[in-house]
């Protein structure tokens, strides 16, 4: 994957490594999700003792068919931190890495879509991915996320039609999953565990560029003046809005696009989180 290659990824991030991480009790509870389809994620109390992650409870839940998701491994595994930085340097896209450990013949998350591109890297076992074309256009955080616009007839309709694509992902293989594509992954093999990594890659958008363009407006006194309560509540509000729009157009027209491009590229390669 990228400069470091899938071979090195498979050699360093193994199912043994991830199992040892779980059994160590070092995984922060805030970075753990435990889920078994069709139910929701379990409350953290299900795998904590005295305010700490309890590896014995986690293992027992996994043995009963629950998927364990280990979040943000790029924060705790040096090799994955380096891979994450490489991805961002090459693409300008912020990203994070989750691991999913699913027991034989079981499923964690059911049908859903994500608001970012994902690269799935299968570490061990075989996971079957049923995929459907996006039901919404270009989902983002706070817009067209699956849980915000979900319809009860989605899953029955998808199941009745059958998947547009079905893939059995094997160890050493990877899957590029564009944002918005519906996926329903599960372990079909009743005898083999599945472990995979998800590299969630947050693509930049024109809205992100627009946010960068107006970020410097705070340095202009005109944009820091108070809008009076009477203006907000009264007929003058439309005029204040027009004045602000016109001021913004003037501000944007005066920007040096070459200088802005340099700053935006720097931000793209260094920002770790953003909201879109």
Identify the pLDDT of residue 141: 85
Buried-state track 199-221, b at ≥16 Cβ within 10 A, e below 16: bbbbbbeeebeeebbeeebeeee
H helix or E strand, kind and range, residue 195 = strand 194-202
Q: What is the pLDDT of residue 276?
A: 39
Task: Indicate the pLDDT class of residue 7, thresholds 50, 70 and 90.
Answer: low
Mean pLDDT, all residues of the chain:
93
Give the distance from CA 180 to its chain's centroid.
Answer: 12
- pTM of the predicted protein model: 0.91
Give tens-digit pLDDT for 213-258.
999 999 999 999 999 999 999 889 999 999 999 999 999 999 999 9
Convert the pLDDT of each residue in 74-128 to its tens digit: 999 999 999 999 999 999 999 999 999 999 999 999 999 999 999 999 999 999 9
Q: Where are the beta strands (DSSP E) in 9-77?
A: 32-35, 48-49, 52-53, 67-70
Alpha-carbon torsion, ordered 132, 135, 137, 139, to 10 deg: -80
Report the alpha-carbon distance of residue 42 to residue 46 in Å, rounded: 7
For residues 67 and 101, the answer to whether their CB atoms sit within 8 Å is: yes
What pLDDT sits at residue 108? 97
- Per-residue pLDDT averaged across 167-185, rounded? 97
Compute the average pLDDT of residues 58-76: 96
Tokens 């809008």 map to which residue?
A: 227
């Amino acid at each position: 994957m990228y400069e470091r290659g899938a071979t090195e990824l498979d050699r360093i991030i193994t199912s043994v490594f991830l199992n040892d991480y779980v059994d160590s009790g070092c995984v922060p509870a805030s970075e753990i999700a435990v889920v078994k389809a069709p139910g929701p994620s379990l409350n953290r109390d299900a795998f904590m003792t005295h305010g700490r992650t309890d590896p014995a409870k986690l293992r027992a839940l996994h043995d009963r068919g629950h998927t364990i998701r280990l979040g943000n491994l790029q924060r705790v595994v040096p090799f994955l931190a380096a891979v994450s930085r490489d991805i961002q340097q090459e693409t300008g896209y912020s990203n994070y890495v989750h691991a999913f450990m699913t027991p034989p013949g079981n499923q964690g998350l059911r049908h859903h879509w994500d608001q970012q591109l994902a690269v799935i890297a299968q570490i061990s076992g075989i996971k079957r991915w049923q995929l459907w074309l996006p039901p919404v256009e270009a989902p983002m955080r706070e817009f067209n996320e699956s849980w915000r616009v979900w319809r009860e007839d989605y899953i029955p309709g998808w199941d009745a039609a059958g998947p547009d694509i079905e893939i059995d992902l094997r160890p050493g293989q990877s899957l590029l999953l564009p944002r918005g594509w519906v996926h329903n992954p599960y372990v079909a093999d009743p005898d083999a565990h599945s472990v995979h990594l998800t590299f969630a890659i947050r693509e930049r958008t024109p809205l992100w560029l627009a946010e960068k363009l107006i970020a410097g407006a705070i340095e202009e006194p005109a944009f820091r003046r108070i809008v009076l309560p009477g203006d907000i509540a009264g007929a003058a509000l439309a005029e204040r809005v027009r004045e602000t729009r016109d001021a913004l157009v003037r501000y944007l027209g005066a920007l040096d696009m070459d200088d802005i491009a340099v700053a935006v590229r720097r931000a793209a390669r260094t920002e770790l989180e953003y909201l879109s």
